[in-house]
């Protein structure tokens, strides 16, 4: 799972804008945002760079993992 949706909302950024910056379709980005599909590590790094955040801010820690 990822936190792309939360980070977009915090920054007031629309999915359409992110899709354009990534060169991906809205449907692809919407899949990432809704956690239906997960971006590759390369794409996750691109998203972090575009949103000017550390990649760790886009990841949800597994709370059950010790």
Q: pLDDT tens digits for 6-33?
A: 999 999 999 999 999 999 999 999 999 9
Query: How would you classify residue 52: left for phi > 0, otherwise alpha for psi between -120 and 50, otherwise beta?
Result: left
Sign (positive/negative) of CA torsion 2, 54, 28, 16?
positive
pTM for the full predicted model = 0.87
Residue 1's pLDDT is 85
* Superfamily holding 4-58: lambda repressor-like DNA-binding domains (1.10.260.40)
Taking the domains of the chain in order of start, what are their residue ranges?
A: 4-58
């Amino acid at each position: 799972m990822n936190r792309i949706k939360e980070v977009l909302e915090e920054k007031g950024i629309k999915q359409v804008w992110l899709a354009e910056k990534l060169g991906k379709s809205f449907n692809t980005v919407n899949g990432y945002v809704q956690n239906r599909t997960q971006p590759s590590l390369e794409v996750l790094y691109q998203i972090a760079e575009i949103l000017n955040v550390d990649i760790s801010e886009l990841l949800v820690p597994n709370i059950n993992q010790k």
